[in-house]
């Protein structure tokens, strides 16, 4: 039995050894238990105590199991990011279509805002300057109309490139 990390590398392929060593199946089960602990939000200390009490192993061995379990978590997250992005776009597009069919323009506006946030069309940088009084200025407020037009053009080009990389259709 093989267990792979985020890069597709085999985590355990030691063969069948005897003696004090545990089997590959037990290692996979331990990594699975650590993985479940990570999903439950257990701290490193709690995982080490668990490993010590249940398996009779030390800190270094539990750290190895944690490292391998984190590799699995990273692999799952990396694999699902593109899928989750596409799914979010499709869901919002479907919601937009339904809201538009019902002439619910307020809902359309909120859905478009969410869609644009996901696609990175909004910037959230805010400059705060304290000189006796607090001045909060959004970076776009300082730009001229021509600079804003250029900024929007760059955002659209970047979004088009990102959508192409993800295999998504262009938004017209």
Examine residue 167 and state whether it is found in any structural domain, yes or no: yes
Q: 151 forms bridges with which residues in the sheet? A: none
Examine residue 168 and state whether it is found in any structural domain, yes or no: yes
Q: What is the CA radius of gyration of the chain?
A: 25
95-110 pLDDT, tens per residue? 999 999 999 888 888 8
Contact 100, 63 (CB under 8 A): no
Examine residue 144 and state whether it is found in any structural domain, yes or no: yes
Question: How many CB atoms within 10 Å of residue 47?
Answer: 20
11-58 pLDDT, tens per residue? 554 444 445 688 889 999 999 999 999 888 899 999 999 999 999 999
Contact 36, 50 (CB under 8 A): no
Count of domains for the chain: 1
45-65 pLDDT, tens per residue? 999 999 999 999 999 999 999
Closest Cα to residue 7, out of 63, 82, 72?
72
Q: Which domain holds residue 171?
A: 127-172
Examine residue 82 and state whether it is found in any structural domain, yes or no: no
Examine residue 163 and state whether it is found in any structural domain, yes or no: yes
Examine residue 145 and state whether it is found in any structural domain, yes or no: yes
Q: What is the pTM of this model?
A: 0.42
Examine residue 157 and state whether it is found in any structural domain, yes or no: yes
């Amino acid at each position: 039995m093989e267990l792979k990390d985020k890069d597709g590398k085999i985590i355990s392929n030691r063969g069948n050894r005897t003696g004090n060593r545990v089997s590959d199946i037990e290692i996979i089960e331990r990594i699975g238990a650590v993985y479940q602990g990570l999903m439950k939000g257990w701290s490193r200390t709690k995982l080490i105590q668990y490993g010590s009490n249940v398996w009779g192993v030390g800190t270094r061995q539990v750290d190895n199991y944690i490292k391998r379990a984190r590799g699995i978590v990273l692999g799952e997250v990396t694999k699902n990011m593109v899928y989750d992005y596409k799914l979010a776009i499709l869901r919002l597009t479907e919601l937009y279509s339904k809201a538009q069919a019902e002439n619910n323009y307020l809902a359309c506006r909120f859905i478009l805002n969410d869609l644009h946030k996901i696609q990175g069309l909004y910037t959230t940088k805010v400059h705060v300057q304290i000189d006796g009084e607090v001045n909060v200025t959004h970076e776009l407020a300082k730009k001229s109309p021509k600079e804003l037009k250029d900024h929007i053009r760059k955002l659209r080009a970047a979004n088009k490139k990102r959508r192409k990389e993800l295999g998504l259709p262009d938004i017209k």
